Chain A
Amino acid sequence: MELFFYLLATLTLLGALGAVLLKNLVHCALSLILFFAGIAGFYILLQAEFIAAVQILIYVGAVATLVLFAIMLTQNVIGETTLKGLGQNRWWALGISLVVITVLVRAIQHQTLPSFLPEGRVTTNEIGHTLVTTYVLPFEVISILLTGAMIGAIVVAMETKKNKQQATGDRRRT
């Protein structure tokens, strides 16, 4: 069991680091997908298969596609995806994230955490059942939020007559 954990941990950390540090945008996106797969592996380790499958379906299936589409749409030339790399304030960023890590890890060490494993598994129909009985309000609110977000995203990103000319216009001027 521990072997899987360490394997998955390295895989996920590599994916996350790659997503953040790589120069080529599409390589970042692909390592992000590796990261999502690693997280799904963790969920399976924690015996949450349903959430792992949902994670793969939503993140690897849809969010990564969305990110790749965005990269494709915002790159003027395919392949020219090397960018000026990191911003000049990256040392500050490194400092802040190191501080965050030390604070969190210190907090984890001092905390007395339950170490024994309760038996019994959470089955999918249990999740489904509680989702529609005790948690029905957040369930409905989420569905409204999703439709709102979807319509909003489409309206924002849509090419109307007005900004279509703007898009082509700009390019001709520069």
Chain B
Amino acid sequence: MIPLSHFLTVSAVLFAIGLYGVLARKNAVIVLMGIEIMMNAANLNLIAFSRFLPANRLTGQLFALFGITIAAAEVAVGLALVIAIFRMVKTIEVDRIEKLKG
């Protein structure tokens, strides 16, 4: 019987890995992947709590469902932006895209 704390530690570690990915990587696509990993870690927490808490067990799963749809929409818009940036500036290195001129 796996206690709840195990699930929480795993999702915490995953969240940290996602955070590291967002902060350390230069390529915009990998940054978006990092955000995806963080979103998934949060969803994992939701489902873990919905499994262990005796109160109405449904809300956790419902909010995880909403979390998944929002993450999907967010990735779609993020990648559209990345492609638009690539078309203009020919590079998607995050630290090179800081020129604000038109």
Query: Measuring CB to CB, which residues of chain A are less than 8 angstroms from any residue of chain B?
Result: 1-2, 5, 9, 12-13, 16-17, 19-20, 25, 28-29, 32, 35-36, 39, 42-43, 45-48, 50-51, 54-55, 58-59, 62-63, 66-67, 69-71, 73-74, 83-87, 89-90, 92-94, 96-98, 100-101, 104-105, 108-109, 111, 113-115, 117-118, 120, 122, 126-127, 130-131, 135, 138, 142, 145-146, 149-150, 152-154, 156-157, 159, 163, 166-167, 170-171, 174
Interface residues of B in 52-99 (CB under 8 A from A): 52-54, 57-58, 61-62, 64-66, 68-77, 79-84, 86-88, 90, 92-95
Task: Pick 19 A–B contacts, CB within 8 A, sort by A.
Answer: A13-B13, A17-B17, A19-B30, A20-B17, A43-B47, A51-B65, A62-B72, A89-B23, A96-B23, A97-B17, A100-B15, A101-B16, A108-B8, A115-B4, A117-B1, A145-B69, A157-B83, A166-B88, A171-B90
